[in-house]
Amino acid sequence: MRPSEVTGPVPAEGEEPRRPPTAASAEPPPKLPEAKDFPATGANSLAAPGPRFGARGMDLAIVVTPALVVVALSVTASADRVEIDTPTWLPWLVLGVGVVYEFVMLALWGRTLGKWMFGLRVARYTDGKKPDPSQALLRALVPWAPMALPLSFGSAIVLGLWASGIQGSLHRGIPDRAGGTVVIATR
């Protein structure tokens, strides 16, 4: 190869010259699945909104239970009034428990307890396999992070993020798009 054919800087003595990539070596990008690629019903079909909301409700109950225990312990009652002195760290507890719960469950098994009970699983959008740890972390962080905001505002954002899973032909909500996943039925 002559120096005029080398791309980039001229290689040092003993180094191989860089060659331009050829069109034959470039593979076309894989085709991403569309709604028509999934069965209409049964295993591996796209998860319907009803089971998704049911699974999310079950997961929410699991995550919020420790916070409800803290709230119950922070209630003081007297003869004329009831006071609830909720700790300022409570939203952080909900955030931490929610992220850890969802991340660990998705990274290890590809589903949370709620999704298991409702016959759903989370799959990588590109190939249908279990999400890798980085995908599981992104998918867990996106919906739970707003819990760090003031409770009424953060809760509204969280509900909106979860509800985003009913839109579009693939029912991929914002957490699914962030994590590169799709929710499918197992039965």
pLDDT of residue 167: 79
Q: Helix or strand or coil: residue 132?
A: coil
Q: How many residues does the chain have?
A: 187
Spell 73-93 as b/e; 16+ CB within 10 A means b.
eeeeeeeeeeeeeeeeebbeb
pLDDT of residue 122: 96
Sign of CA dihedral 44, 46, 51, 56: positive
- Would you write out the chain's pLDDT as a tens digit for each of its 187 residues? 454 444 555 555 656 656 655 555 577 777 888 888 888 899 999 999 899 999 999 998 999 998 899 888 888 887 888 888 888 888 788 889 999 999 999 999 999 999 999 999 999 999 999 999 999 999 999 888 887 777 777 778 878 887 887 778 888 888 899 999 999 999 9
pLDDT of residue 24: 55
Please, how many CA atoms are within 13 Å of residue 168, restricted to the half-sphere of its CB? Answer: 16
Positions of E strands within the chain: 75-77, 82-84, 120-124, 181-185
Closest CA to 180 of 130, 146, 120: 130
pLDDT of residue 154: 78
Name the DSSP letter for residue 124. E
